[in-house]
Amino acid sequence: MTTITPQEKAEILSEALPYIQRFFDKTIVIKYGGNAMTEPELKEGFASDVVLLKLVGMNPVVVHGGGPQINELLDRIGKKGEFIQGMRVTDAETMDVVEMVLGGHVNKEIVSLINKHGGKAVGLTGQDGHFIKARKMYLKDSSDELLDIGQVGEIESIDPTIVAHLDAGDFIPVIAPIGVDRNGESYNINADLVAGKLAEVLHAEKLIMMTNTPGVLDKEGNLLTKLSAKRIDELFADGTISGGMLPKISSALDAAKSGVNAVHIIDGRVKHALLLEVLTEQGVGTMIRAK
């Protein structure tokens, strides 16, 4: 194990100062998912990173997924998860599981971890105050036929009022991606889409998406550190970006085009990846900008 001298620690802290100044009082939306949500050491590291960002004057907002945890409970009840174009097919029984896992166990665990490290986290779903309004989503197949994937929603609107009030009170919002329509029907919404739209309506400085990959890779497996909208369209067209990365990159691109200064796809398997991205020159992963 490498020992860091006091002088080296001081240099590391000094390097962080310009970033603390640049992002002071700025909103940073973090999509929390992948191994960072399942490995104990990474979970603890993530919680402490979020608290540190808040303590140095930034406004972190956490949107979490919970795919592995949903799959685990579905397995226990003998139900197999199904995905189409990166979206979970969600019948009524699966929706009950989604609400139980995302709005219950996972959300409460994240809140508890952040509070344990000295933060003031508050858990929310889009059902609270109906702040995430949704409508039923349909997908198109290769013949442009509409596919019904159940209680899966697309975002109609997000009311930023609740989140803004929590930020102003030095609370850290932790949001489960469940929306509701005008009739009170609940919808499972892809967490990447919620994070992207929330970053737009909050006029966030950054949107950071934590994944189980080093970032966006080309067909040879090389990391693409910077991407423009034009380059992303090319990667969609040639199939380089596909499957579960489709909603992630689409929402990242939409956020960048809608005024979010920078969107980052980072490797959540790296310890303290969040701090490395926000507080160092090198950063980790892929940065997406509109141009």
* 88 marked ligand binding residue: yes
Dihedral of CA atoms 144, 145, 149, 152 in degrees, nearest 10, equals 50
Whether the CA torsion 99, 103, 107, 109 is positive or negative: it is: negative
Q: What is the DSSP string of 237-254?
A: HTTSS-TTHHHHHHHHHH
The angle subtended at Cα 231 by Cα 225 and Cα 232, nearest 5°, is 85
Confirm whether residue 107 is marked as ligand binding: no
Question: What SS3 state is found at 16?
Answer: helix
> Do the annotations mark residue 115 as ligand-binding?
no
Q: Is 35 annotated as a binding residue?
A: no
Cβ burial of 32 (10 Å; 0-12, 13-18, 19+) is buried
Residue entry with tokens 């579905």: 74
Q: Could you please report the per-residue DSSP string of 92-156? A: HHHHHHHHHIIIIIIHHHHHHHHHHTT--EEEEETTGGG-EEEEEEEEE-TTS-EEEEEEEEEEE
Binding residues for substrate: 66-67, 88, 188
| Residues flagged as binding site | 66-67, 88, 188
